[in-house]
Amino acid sequence: MAITTQNDLETDLQFGPPGFARVVFRGCMNVNSVGGSWKKLEEGLRAIKVEKLEVDASELQLCDGSGLSLLRYVGMGLMTPEAAVSVRGMDPDLEQVYRAFTLEDYQALRPSSAVKCRSIPDDVGRGVRQAASDWREQIEFLGEVTRNFLPTLWSRRQTRWPEVGRVFEQAGADAVPIVSLVSILVGLVIAFESVQTLAYFGAQIYVVNMIGIIMVRELGPLLAAVLLAGRSGSAFAAELGTMKVNEELDALETFGLDPIRFLVIQRIVAAILLTPLLTFYSTFLGILGGVLVAFALGFSRSLVYHQLTASLHLSDIFLGLAKALAFGAIVSAVGCLRGLQTQEGPSAVGVSTTRAVVASIVLIVVADAVFAVLFYYLKK
């Protein structure tokens, strides 16, 4: 069995008296040679009806696992379902291995080819149950965070301020370059595109009013929150998810430390503190982008300043601030919740981060709409 010469496999198919066939394998049966042999046997045996098949393995020089599989396949009669098959001439060592896997084993272990039919009620039920349990978990999480929020902040010992600082730096300070780039570009592009329409009415100067309102009330908070979700909401989910997979959360609980108090509140606090700052920064740069367009059109600095201050009210700025606080809470809480919900398995952390980002962005947009309606009625 240990001869390593790489000569080819010869498959000699002989037909004797009617209904009788004989296969002689000669040479080297390995991964590379079984394919050709298989083809030859299949074509040769399909053509005629065989009642008795004899397999002669006495001239095999080498037979590896794949060769053994071919011998078994033919030997078990799977190629000639109606024939009585006998295999002879195997090397005793090979024969011992050959006998270890029989037709009964093959039939018992084969995956059933029956396609499982999915039932729609089953799927619907499963979906509803999952949605319900997800809702339940979200409500529980919300309740637990609310219950623990103030007590954790009150007690000096439980809020780990260095950790808050770390999150603040990673999610806030480190995000400044990307927030700058995105905000200024969005400001520029919006101003540039709308100026072309305003020009029909000779009202180009109002681009400044427009960009001021749109940035302060809508896009500033939205851009900051979306970037926070992509950069940090996902990071929260990944961090907590990895901790869950590594049983670090279990370790915390056995110390009597509540993961909500120990890990989640810190992140939410940091996010709530940093989103207003990030929002102001994003708003400022967005307006700057619009103002640059106004300057390019030849408007004077004093005119632009006048238009901007005239169009913005304090209430607009408060609305932006309120949105920023809400968005920060949403992004951080959703990120942490998805992290804590991480399941077992190699792709679980990836799934959690995706869910965190998607849910954050959806909730941000929904909350934005709620704010718009609320503000409209409050103003009346």
Partner 1 sequence: MNDQLDIVISVRNVKVGYGGKAVLHNISFEVTSGEVFVILGGSGSGKSTLLKNLIGLCTPMAGEIWIEGINLATAEGEERRDLLRKFGVAYQSGALFGSMTVLENVRLPMDELTSMPGPLKEMQALAILKLVGLGTSAQKMPAELSGGMQKRAAIARAMALSPRILFLDEPSAGLDPVTAADLDLLIKEVARRFGITFVVVSHDLASIYTIADRVIMLDSRTKTVAVEGRPAELRDTATDPQVRRFFRREADADASRLHL
Instruction: List residues near partner 1 by CB under 8 A.
Output: 1-2, 30-32, 34-35, 38-39, 64-66, 68-70, 72-73, 78, 93, 96-97, 100-101, 105-106, 108-111, 344-347
C-beta of 106 vs 295, nearer to partner 1: 106
Residue type, 283: T
C-beta of 162 vs 346, nearer to partner 1: 346
Burial readout 103-122 (b: 16 or more C-beta within 10 A, e: otherwise): eeeeeeeeeeeeeeeeeeee
C-beta of 91 vs 368, nearer to partner 1: 91
C-beta of 29 vs 326, nearer to partner 1: 29
Q: How far is the CB of 96 from partner 1 (least distance, A)?
A: 7
Q: How far is the CB of 1 from partner 1 (least distance, A)?
A: 6
282: CB partners within 8 A, 6+ apart: 179, 182, 183, 215, 219, 220, 221, 223, 224, 227
Q: How far is the CB of 68 from partner 1 (least distance, A)?
A: 7
Q: Are 69 and 31 in contact (CB under 8 A)?
A: no
Q: How far is the CB of 35 from partner 1 (least distance, A)?
A: 4
What DSSP line would sit under 59-99, residue for residue? EEEEE-HHHHHHHHHHHTTSSSTTSEEEEE---HHHHHHHH
Q: How far is the CB of 81 from partner 1 (least distance, A)?
A: 13
Q: Cα–Cα distances in Å, from 3 out to 63, 65, 304, 360?
A: 9, 14, 89, 64
C-beta of 16 vs 36, nearer to partner 1: 36
C-beta of 112 vs 302, nearer to partner 1: 112
Q: How far is the CB of 115 from partner 1 (least distance, A)?
A: 14
Pinpoint the alpha helices (H) of the chain. 34-47, 65-75, 92-99, 103-109, 120-154, 161-171, 176-198, 206-213, 220-228, 234-245, 248-254, 259, 265-296, 301-311, 314-340, 348-379
C-beta of 5 vs 302, nearer to partner 1: 5
Q: How far is the CB of 36 from partner 1 (least distance, A)?
A: 9
Nearest to 226 by CA among 275, 165, 290, 295: 275
